[in-house]
Structure 1
Amino acid sequence: MVRPRFSKLPPEQQQAIVRAAREEFAAHGFHDASLNRVIEAAGISKGSMYYYFDDKVDLFAHVVRIDLEQLFDRLGPFPVPDGGSADEFWSTLEGYYLRLMTALTATPDLATLIRGLLAASTTPVLAQAQADLTQALLPWLELAVIRGQRAGAIRTDLPSALLIAVVMGMGQAIDVWLMNQQPADADLAGSVGVLFEMIRGAVAPSKHAAVRKGGAPPPSE
C-alpha cells in the first residue's frame, strides 16, 4: 500500500516518480521491470523509494490506479440508462464500453499496464487492486441492474448479486480477450458488439423464468 509520506511530496516529485515507473513498466512489463531503473530515472535514492512504497508490486498497483482514474475522468461518468427500451439500455452501455476500449487503444502504455495487471492478479496486492476497482463499481452496477430490469433488459427472477457476479465474470474475460487480441480500430466496434450480445443473452429475461412472487415489479432505487 502507498505510504502516507508519498502524498506529502510536492506534486511535481510525485509525478516524476509515477512517470518513471509508468515508462519502466510499459517498456519491460511488470515482471521484468527494474525498480533500480525507476529510482534512477526518478532521481531519488533507493531508501527514499522504500520510504514511499513497500515494493515494486505496490508501486505498480499505484501507477495503474492513477492512470485508470485519469482515463475515467477524461471519459466522464459511467452512464446509467434510465427509461427507454431494452435495446436502448444495452446500446448506451455498449457505446460507453466502446469509448473506453477505443481510449485504451489510443494509450498503449496504459493498455500494457492493464495487461500486466490482469496477468499478475494472483499477487495479493494486485488482486486487492482489482478488488478495489470492482468495489468502486458496485453502486453503479446495482443501479444499472435496477434500471435494466425496469427497461425489460435484465431478468428479475434471480438475485441482483448473482446477476452482477455473472456480468463481472464475463466482463473480466472479455477485458482479457480484447486486451490480448488488440483488434484494429476498424474491427473494435464489431468485436465489442458481439461480446455485449453475449452478456445481454446471459442476463436477459427468460421466457421460462418464474413470475415474480405476487407479480411485484422490479425493486425501486
Structure 2
Amino acid sequence: MVRPRFARLPPAQQQAILGAALDEFAAHGFHDASLNRIISAAGISKGSMYYYFDGKEDLFAHVAHVEFERLLADIGPLRLAGELGPDAFWSAVERYYRDSVAQLTACPRLASLVRAWLRASDQPALQRAQQELEGEVMPWIERVLVAGQSSGAVRTDLPTSLLIAVALGMGRAMDMWLMAQPPADAAAPPIGALVGMLRRALEPQA
C-alpha cells in the first residue's frame, strides 16, 4: 500500500511520480509495465520509490484509485429527480453511463488505464485493492438502488446485497466488453442496450 511518507512529498513531486506511472501503465498495462522506466521518467532513485510504495502492485493500485476518483468527480453525481418513475430512473442511469464513456473517450490515457485495471482483475496481488475500491463505491450503488426501488424501477423482493452483487457483476462484464472494443467502434457504443440488459435484470417482475 502507499506509505504515508508519499503524502508528505511536495505536490509537484507526487505528480511527477504519478504522471510517470500513469503513462507507463496506460502504454503497457500492468503486466508489461516497467517499474524501472517509471523510476527513470519520474527522476527518482529506486530506493526512493520503495520508500513510498511497496512495489509495482501498490503503485498501480494507487494510480488507479487517484484517477478513478478524478473521473468520478469530473462526471459528477447521478442526477435523479425528486419524483421519478421507472423510465425516468433508467434514463438517468443511461445518461450517467454515457457521460462516463464520453469522459473516457476524451482521455485515451485514462481509458487505457481502465483497460489495464480490468485485465489485471485476476492478479492476486491486486485483489485487495480492487475489493477496497469496490467497498468505496458500495454505498453509492446502494443509494442508487434504493432510489430505484422508491421509484418502482428496481425490484424489492430480493435482498439488497444480492441486487448489488448482480449490478456489480453485470457492470463489470459490460465494462470489460466495452473497453475491449476497437477505438473505431467506441464512438457509438450500445449504451442503451447495455443499460436495458441491466434494467431487465433488476426491474420488478410482472
- TM-score (norm. length: structure 1): 0.88
User: Residue type of the partner of 1:194?
Assistant: A
Q: CA–CA distance in 2 between the matches of 1:18 and 1:8?
A: 14
The aligned residue for residue 37 of structure 2 is 37
Report matched runs for 1:1-221 at 5 Å. 1-182=1-182, 183-185=185-187, 187-188=188-189, 191-207=190-206
User: Residue type of the partner of 1:18?
Assistant: L
Q: Deviations over 1:13-52 (max 9, x none)?
A: 0000011111111222211111111111111111000000
In the TM superposition, residue 82 of structure 1 has moved relative to its aligned partner by: 3.9
Q: Which has the larger radius of gyration?
A: 1
Q: CA–CA distance in 2 between the matches of 1:156 and 1:119?
A: 33
> In percent, how many aligned pairs have the same letter?
55
Q: CA–CA distance in 2 between the matches of 1:104 and 1:133?
A: 19
| Secondary structure at the counterpart of residue 120 of structure 1 | helix
In angstroms, what is the RMSD of aligned CA positions? 1.4
| Secondary structure at the counterpart of residue 121 of structure 1 | helix
Conserved? CA contact 1:118–1:176, under 8 Å: yes
Alpha-carbon distance change, 130 to 80 in structure 1, aligned in 2, over 3 angstroms: farther
User: Residue type of the partner of 2:88?
Assistant: E
Q: CA–CA distance in 2 between the matches of 1:53 and 1:60?
A: 10
Alpha-carbon distance change, 80 to 165 in structure 1, aligned in 2, over 3 angstroms: farther
Where in structure 1 are there 5+ consecutive unaligned residues? 208-221
In the TM superposition, residue 80 of structure 1 has moved relative to its aligned partner by: 4.6
Q: CA–CA distance in 2 between the matches of 1:24 and 1:102?
A: 23
Where in structure 2 are there 5+ consecutive unaligned residues? none
Q: Deviations over 1:73-125 (max 9, x none)?
A: 11112335542110000000110111001111111111111111111122234
| Secondary structure at the counterpart of residue 9 of structure 1 | coil
Number of aligned residue pairs: give it: 204
